[in-house]
A and B are shown apart, each in its own frame.
Chain A
């Protein structure tokens, strides 16, 4: 009961917020939307008429709101995907100055997404990838009934008797649905050619595509021979999803190698430095340099790195030198209890010993 009240309060808050800002992002589905969905499932409001989720959720563009109404059964998948995207972003950036921290409003990440930086590129790609992944999974689970091939090749559907020919690959469906849902907000408004807004829109479209492709790229093809006596005269192949962590790692690689672009007068993206190679559809692009996220600057969405735990011996981004931006660090001796020597028992539990260690914890000044 307390939970429900809390949701109501939250709905109220988001309604008020929706009126005041339009800078929200659809990724909010994965943050606030998922709570609403869970609350709805427990109260069995789900599937009744117009979903209050779509109306109340802050961050959806008008087109996305319509799609949300149209594909209500997909929204749980979208929400899970967006949440997985956020969680993966936080995992990938756990050691970086900006650690993908979220705030409780429709913008999810605060003003960071307002800057057309590498981080924004990564977040968009990650969220799109999460939705592709999650919708494909939901298809294979049998929970979404509209999955299938929207391929407009041979009109197979005309002949209902033509039993189940064509492709049955749900990864493609996930890709297509995500394309429709995520990209629609960038296509709703027309921008002045060559303007900053148009560049931003193009950048988002490019990065969304890169995210979607990452899932496809990381999936593996598996085949099975089943001809006469099991020979390979007949062979059937299908796509097998990789773990989402693999997709995240792949996109982090793309983040590190992202290309800076600018929008030209013809309304196209072109690379800023001609010495670099052209980015492909799998690569991330960004328009502006990132802030350094060293100091707390809430107007930019930077929480600063003060108080963050760093690794004294590391030379990477999590090293104290880089993470603390040269401000130095405090060292504190603490006793840590952690699980060790784990043995996994099927099914479903892990037997671990508890190891007690005394470690030095370094935090940024």
Chain B
């Protein structure tokens, strides 16, 4: 590899650059912590038990929607817990969830800035000593989702999705006392990848069928609660602003970097290609596509977001491998500088990312067609999903082994070279010192970034884990974590692109091809003071 900027940069310039990046990093962190709200918030909605008065036998479905607020609201079955002796039939009770629920005397409506909506259902089942339920029951839900926009009349709900879903319900109870509520697991119900409309309405029926044993072991269901989780609009705004700032910066730096590589007479080295690909992946991640969701209905955004992150991290992981490989300082390996010799290492990354991708396609891809779909509800689906995740985990393990092995090898090589450094000629020494410096710099930067990510993640989890009741936390830890990590990897790539770009201090030397031969000829340079040929030699060996 050609000598890079970082080797030729004076300490002063380097420190200025690094401190600029650190300042940028701190700003990113503070933006998340002080300006942005928490990434997501939730609303807990109690289902209104609407009465479907249509005559027995009329199929649920059609254009009839049940809602609890506004003109034409349904008549509810009973205000409190309905009596066990009310002779309603199962299809006559419709649980209506009208979202969002009003807050602070305002009729809220979903904003497109909120990006996505996740619905989670909780079933309150009352314990009765005479009718205990088995710990794992199946619950069948007839769920239908409708939407309405501002300005539409109150009754104008338009169907969005409908599905009959079966979910498993794990219910336990610590203290078997009458009228206590079972502790049931939450049931993931739907995921909307875009929040395009203003109001949504969910109608849930619990159909009963004695012949096919549907919902027979359900016990005394008192309430259904729906928790809808949406991304906060403010967070999206901050997030998209960050992207809008980083996107052009990275594109410019990338263009500058590539121009620089092209100015070299030789064809670009593998590592330079890798950096370019990495930069492109980051650009893909940075692209503020979220603006489009404000105008168009793009339900695939959740999936696309996952893919973008996946592509970026796959490239980052591959880059680390190849970077370590290219700094092994083994002169004789002619095959270096091509992707082929890394196929074993890269396949670990590939398999891991591919299995995660397949898993994500199975979950979120199918959700594009049916937002109620979940891979986890069937046994086969759960096994499949688990196997994909385990496969990804194994690949991650293999990858880590490869990476640590390579880094360990580089370090042993470094210590060997260190020992022989004083006896080397000045040119070789400069070359190796450059390689060692480059490698160590990247190692430190990477370790720092990875550690910060992990520490931030753990801190964020801890802050979320303990539910704050009345303590007002000034810093939004989770948001700060997200913007901080996002800014950090941007800064990291930015620094790599700038510092590991080929240094122009050498490229005039390589304008003609004959020089390469000359240097090949003077393998052991006779004139150590000839600085130009020395550095050129260093460049030559690096190319090898």
Binding site for B on A (CB under 8 A): 80, 137, 139-149, 151, 153-154, 156-157, 159, 161-170, 172, 216, 220-224, 226, 228-230, 232-240, 242-243, 245-246, 249, 340-350
A346 is contacted by which of B124, B183, B216 (Cβ under 8 Å)?
B216
- The reply to whether B89 and A151 contact each other, CB–CB distance below 8 Å, is no
B42 to chain A, nearest CB (A): 5
A41 to chain B, nearest CB (A): 10
Report if B48 contacts A (CB, 8 A): yes
Report if B40 contacts A (CB, 8 A): yes
A349 is contacted by which of B86, B120, B216 (Cβ under 8 Å)?
B86
Q: Give Cα distance in the complex from A168 to B44, angstroms.
A: 8
Besides the contacts A163-B111, A342-B131, what 15 more A-B pairs have beta carbons closer than 8 Å? A141-B45, A141-B101, A142-B69, A156-B37, A161-B237, A162-B37, A166-B37, A222-B227, A234-B39, A234-B40, A243-B179, A342-B128, A344-B220, A346-B216, A346-B221
- The reply to whether B219 and A344 contact each other, CB–CB distance below 8 Å, is yes
Q: How many residues of B contact A (CB 8 A)?
A: 89
Chain A residues within an 8 Å CB radius of B457: 233
Chain A residues within an 8 Å CB radius of B467: 221, 237, 239
- The reply to whether B234 and A347 contact each other, CB–CB distance below 8 Å, is no
Q: Bits for B444-483, please: 1 = Cβ < 8 Å to A, else 0.
A: 0000000000000100010010010110101000100000
A248 to chain B, nearest CB (A): 9
Q: Give Cα distance in the complex from A232 to B37, angstroms.
A: 19
B232 is contacted by which of A153, A163, A230, A238 (Cβ under 8 Å)?
A163
- The reply to whether B93 and A236 contact each other, CB–CB distance below 8 Å, is no
Known A-B contacts A165-B38, A347-B88; A224 and B227 likewise in contact (beta carbons under 8 Å): yes
Known A-B contacts A142-B102, A347-B88; A235 and B107 likewise in contact (beta carbons under 8 Å): no
A243 to chain B, nearest CB (A): 4
B181 is contacted by which of A159, A221, A235, A242 (Cβ under 8 Å)?
A242
Q: Give Cα distance in the complex from A165 to B39, angstroms.
A: 8
Chain B residues within an 8 Å CB radius of A140: 44-46, 101, 225
- The reply to whether A222 and B122 contact each other, CB–CB distance below 8 Å, is yes
- The reply to whether A236 and B69 contact each other, CB–CB distance below 8 Å, is no
- The reply to whether B229 and A236 contact each other, CB–CB distance below 8 Å, is yes
Report if B430 contacts A (CB, 8 A): no
Report if B108 contacts A (CB, 8 A): yes
Chain B residues within an 8 Å CB radius of A348: 82, 84, 86-90, 93
Report if B104 contacts A (CB, 8 A): yes
- The reply to whether B305 and A228 contact each other, CB–CB distance below 8 Å, is yes
Known A-B contacts A146-B105, A168-B43, A168-B103; A141 and B180 likewise in contact (beta carbons under 8 Å): no
- The reply to whether B43 and A226 contact each other, CB–CB distance below 8 Å, is no
Q: Give Cα distance in the complex from A162 to B227, angstroms.
A: 21
Report if B215 contacts A (CB, 8 A): yes
Q: Bits for B392-432, please: 1 = Cβ < 8 Å to A, else 0.
A: 00000000000000000000000000000000000000000
- The reply to whether B232 and A229 contact each other, CB–CB distance below 8 Å, is no
- The reply to whether A162 and B84 contact each other, CB–CB distance below 8 Å, is no
- The reply to whether A246 and B461 contact each other, CB–CB distance below 8 Å, is no
Chain B residues within an 8 Å CB radius of A157: 104
Known A-B contacts A141-B46, A224-B229; A349 and B84 likewise in contact (beta carbons under 8 Å): yes
Which has the most chain B C-beta neighbours within 10 Å: A151, A169, A240, A242? A240
Report if B442 contacts A (CB, 8 A): no
A23 to chain B, nearest CB (A): 30
Q: Give Cα distance in the complex from A141 to B105, angstroms.
A: 14
Chain A residues within an 8 Å CB radius of B186: 222, 224
Q: Give Cα distance in the complex from A334 to B364, angstroms.
A: 64
Chain B residues within an 8 Å CB radius of A159: 234
Chain A residues within an 8 Å CB radius of B2: none
Q: Give Cα distance in the complex from A349 to B77, angstroms.
A: 14
In the complex, what residue of chain A is closest to B308 when comparing beta carbons? Answer: A228
Q: Give Cα distance in the complex from A62 to B522, angstroms.
A: 103
Binding site for A on B (CB under 8 A): 37-46, 48, 68-69, 79-80, 82, 84-90, 92-93, 98, 101-108, 111, 113-114, 118, 120, 122, 124, 126, 128, 130-131, 177-181, 183, 186, 188, 206, 208, 210, 215-216, 218-222, 225, 227, 229-230, 232-235, 237, 305-306, 309, 356, 359-360, 363-364, 457, 461, 464, 467, 469-470, 472, 474, 478
Q: Give Cα distance in the complex from A222 to B120, angstroms.
A: 11
B349 to chain A, nearest CB (A): 16
Q: Give Cα distance in the complex from A4 to B102, angstroms.
A: 33
Which has the most chain A C-beta neighbours within 10 Å: B38, B45, B181? B181
A274 to chain B, nearest CB (A): 30
- The reply to whether B360 and A350 contact each other, CB–CB distance below 8 Å, is no
- The reply to whether A347 and B233 contact each other, CB–CB distance below 8 Å, is no
18 interchain pairs (CB within 8 A)? A80-B79, A140-B225, A142-B102, A164-B108, A164-B111, A164-B230, A164-B232, A168-B44, A221-B467, A228-B309, A236-B41, A243-B222, A346-B208, A346-B216, A346-B218, A347-B93, A348-B93, A350-B85
- The reply to whether B229 and A226 contact each other, CB–CB distance below 8 Å, is yes
Chain A residues within an 8 Å CB radius of B188: 224
Chain B residues within an 8 Å CB radius of A153: 472, 474
- The reply to whether A163 and B38 contact each other, CB–CB distance below 8 Å, is no
- The reply to whether B233 and A224 contact each other, CB–CB distance below 8 Å, is no
A147 is contacted by which of B40, B102, B222, B478 (Cβ under 8 Å)?
B102
- The reply to whether A249 and B177 contact each other, CB–CB distance below 8 Å, is yes
- The reply to whether A235 and B90 contact each other, CB–CB distance below 8 Å, is no
Which has the most chain B C-beta neighbours within 10 Å: A238, A246, A348? A348
B146 to chain A, nearest CB (A): 16
Q: Give Cα distance in the complex from A157 to B118, angstroms.
A: 24
Chain B residues within an 8 Å CB radius of A145: 102-103, 105-107
Q: Give Cα distance in the complex from A154 to B476, angstroms.
A: 11
- The reply to whether A230 and B46 contact each other, CB–CB distance below 8 Å, is no
Chain B residues within an 8 Å CB radius of A349: 84-88
In the complex, what residue of chain A is closest to B97 when comparing beta carbons? Answer: A142
In the complex, what residue of chain B is closest to A156 when comparing beta carbons? Answer: B37
- The reply to whether A228 and B306 contact each other, CB–CB distance below 8 Å, is yes
- The reply to whether B233 and A162 contact each other, CB–CB distance below 8 Å, is yes
Chain B residues within an 8 Å CB radius of A162: 37, 233-234
Chain B residues within an 8 Å CB radius of A347: 88-90, 92-93, 206, 208, 221
In the complex, what residue of chain B is closest to A88 when comparing beta carbons? Answer: B179
Chain A residues within an 8 Å CB radius of B44: 140, 168-170, 238-240
Chain A residues within an 8 Å CB radius of B208: 345-347
Known A-B contacts A141-B46, A224-B120, A246-B180; A344 and B461 likewise in contact (beta carbons under 8 Å): no
Q: Give Cα distance in the complex from A341 to B130, angstroms.
A: 7
- The reply to whether B98 and A142 contact each other, CB–CB distance below 8 Å, is yes
Q: Give Cα distance in the complex from A340 to B68, angstroms.
A: 37
Q: Give Cα distance in the complex from A156 to B113, angstroms.
A: 17
Chain A residues within an 8 Å CB radius of B41: 164-168, 236
Q: Give Cα distance in the complex from A32 to B2, angstroms.
A: 89
B26 to chain A, nearest CB (A): 20
Give me the 8 closest cross-chain CB pairs, A-B, nearest first.
A163-B233, A165-B37, A145-B102, A142-B101, A148-B104, A245-B179, A148-B103, A140-B46
Chain B residues within an 8 Å CB radius of A142: 45-46, 48, 68-69, 98, 101-102
In the complex, what residue of chain A is closest to B45 when comparing beta carbons? Answer: A140
- The reply to whether B82 and A236 contact each other, CB–CB distance below 8 Å, is no
- The reply to whether A141 and B48 contact each other, CB–CB distance below 8 Å, is yes
B356 to chain A, nearest CB (A): 7
B363 is contacted by which of A161, A230, A245 (Cβ under 8 Å)?
A230
Q: Give Cα distance in the complex from A137 to B128, angstroms.
A: 23
Q: Give Cα distance in the complex from A77 to B41, angstroms.
A: 25
Chain B residues within an 8 Å CB radius of A237: 42, 464, 467
B377 to chain A, nearest CB (A): 13
- The reply to whether B84 and A344 contact each other, CB–CB distance below 8 Å, is yes
A243 is contacted by which of B126, B130, B227 (Cβ under 8 Å)?
B126
Which has the most chain B C-beta neighbours within 10 Å: A142, A161, A232, A238? A142
- The reply to whether A243 and B84 contact each other, CB–CB distance below 8 Å, is no
Q: Give Cα distance in the complex from A328 to B30, angstroms.
A: 75
Chain A residues within an 8 Å CB radius of B79: 80
Q: Give Cα distance in the complex from A216 to B92, angstroms.
A: 34
